[in-house]
């Protein structure tokens, strides 16, 4: 067994294998870290997409509120429970 080991595994090969193992598994740029970073990037891209959709919704709502007085009145009455002098407002949850 020792002869076989000496024949096929030299010191330089062991150093190279140790270096490759270090780079692949124990380094800051290891394979596991790369997968973690890729998963985090996908998660952050999904969050960015969600927030961009929300931003577009509120930009459209802002534009509608600036251009349509009826829309402004509807939003104010629904969200802030404002009423006219001759109205009674009942709020249901």
Hey, what's the torsion of the CAs at 11, 14, 16, 18, to 10 degrees? Answer: -140
Is residue 73 in some structural domain? yes
How many folded domains does the chain comprise?
1
Domain assignment present for 89: no
pTM of the model: 0.56
Residue 21 lies in a domain: yes
Per the model's pLDDT, the better-predicted residue between 75 and 8 turns out to be 75
Residue 49 structure tokens: 């997409």
Q: Is residue 90 part of a domain?
A: no
For residue 61, report the phi and psi dihedrals to the nearest 5 degrees: -60, -40
Asked whether residue 87 is domain-assigned, the answer is no
Let me know if residue 93 belongs to a domain: no
Compute φ and ψ for 30, nearest 5 degrees.
-70, 170
C-alpha span between 26 and 44 (Å, rounded)? 25
Its domain, for residue 68, covers: 2-80
pLDDT in tens, 3-38: 767 777 778 888 888 888 888 888 777 888 889 999
Flag whether 91 is in a domain. Answer: no
**Rounded CA gap, 34 and 29, in Å?**
6
């Amino acid at each position: 067994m020792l002869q076989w080991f000496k024949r096929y595994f030299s010191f330089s090969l062991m150093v190279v294998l140790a270096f490759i193992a270090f780079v692949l598994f124990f380094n800051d740029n290891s394979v596991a870290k790369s997968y973690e970073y890729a998963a985090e990037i996908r998660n952050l891209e999904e969050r960015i997409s969600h927030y961009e959709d929300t931003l577009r919704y509120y930009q459209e709502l802002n534009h509608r509120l600036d251009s349509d007085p009826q829309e402004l009145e509807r939003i104010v009455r629904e969200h802030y429970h404002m009423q006219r002098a001759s109205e009674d407002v009942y709020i249901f949850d």
